Chain A
Amino acid sequence: SQQGEEDPQALSIQEGENATMNCSYKTSINNLQWYRQNSGRGLVHLILIRSNEREKHSGRLRVTLDTSKKSSSLLITASRAADTASYFCATNAGNMLTFGGGTRLMVKP
């Protein structure tokens, strides 16, 4: 079973625009992670945010975490065509990762 739910399921934007994806989860977590998956490829780790952190940045990525609402968001600024991929949030409790259903992002050149 998948703990996380992601919203939207699909997102289409123009190059240069910002993309925001949201993730909600159900149980207590140690941390939350975001992954990217290009078509036909494995998952690539993007960023990890711990349960005691509220915001984290990495390059053009900005992740927020609200443990009171059990939700997280991933913001990609100044998107590029190469950002086209599926993005998954994954909650970590112990050594287990539980993935959401993903957001399929298309960035049009």
Chain B
Amino acid sequence: EAGVVQSPRYKIIEKKQPVAFWCNPISGHNTLYWYLQNLGQGPELLIRYENEEAVDDSQLPKDRFSAERLKGVDSTLKIQPAELGDSAVYLCASSGNSNQQYFGPGTRLTVT
């Protein structure tokens, strides 16, 4: 069974540029999560989807961040415009009927 797939794995952009991350969850998993992980810290939830509906986006900085999961499968997370402080690892996770979340390898973003 394929795990959670994320792309790209690494991205370097200049500040004020837009960037997008893509996530393909485990087949059949209805719940999808985006997390932000700063260096040396634990992941922090940005947004949670149940199918195509965003049920918890309270930690998503909506002035520059947006996310979508149009058909309830793949999801994209976008930042526009990026700031220096957005440099971090962006993790995607998915879960099925159990409480266990399965994480992708993450996208490491560097904003210069």
Cβ of B72 within 8 Å of any chain A Cβ, yes or no, is no
**A/B pair count, beta carbons within 8 Å:** 55
State which residues 96-112 of B face A: CB under 8 Å.
Answer: 99-106, 108
Structural contact, B56 and A96, CB atoms closer than 8 A: yes
Taking a contact as CB atoms closer than 8 A, the residue among A4, A30, A40, A44 that contacts B42 in the complex is A4
Most chain B CB neighbours (cut-off 10 Å) among A33, A48, A97: A97
Structural contact, A95 and B45, CB atoms closer than 8 A: no
Interface size range on B against A:
20 to 34
Count residues of A near B (Cβ-Cβ below 8 Å).
25
Q: What separation, in Å, do the CA atoms of A90 and B75 have in the docked complex?
A: 24
Contact digits for A48-62, partner B, Cβ 8 Å, 1 yes 0 no: 100000000000000
Q: Hey, which bits of chain A sit against chain B, CB under 8 A?
A: 1-2, 4, 30-31, 33, 35, 40-45, 48, 88, 90, 92, 95-102
Q: Hey, which bits of chain B sit against chain A, CB under 8 A?
A: 4, 31, 33, 40-45, 48, 56, 91, 93, 95, 99-106, 108
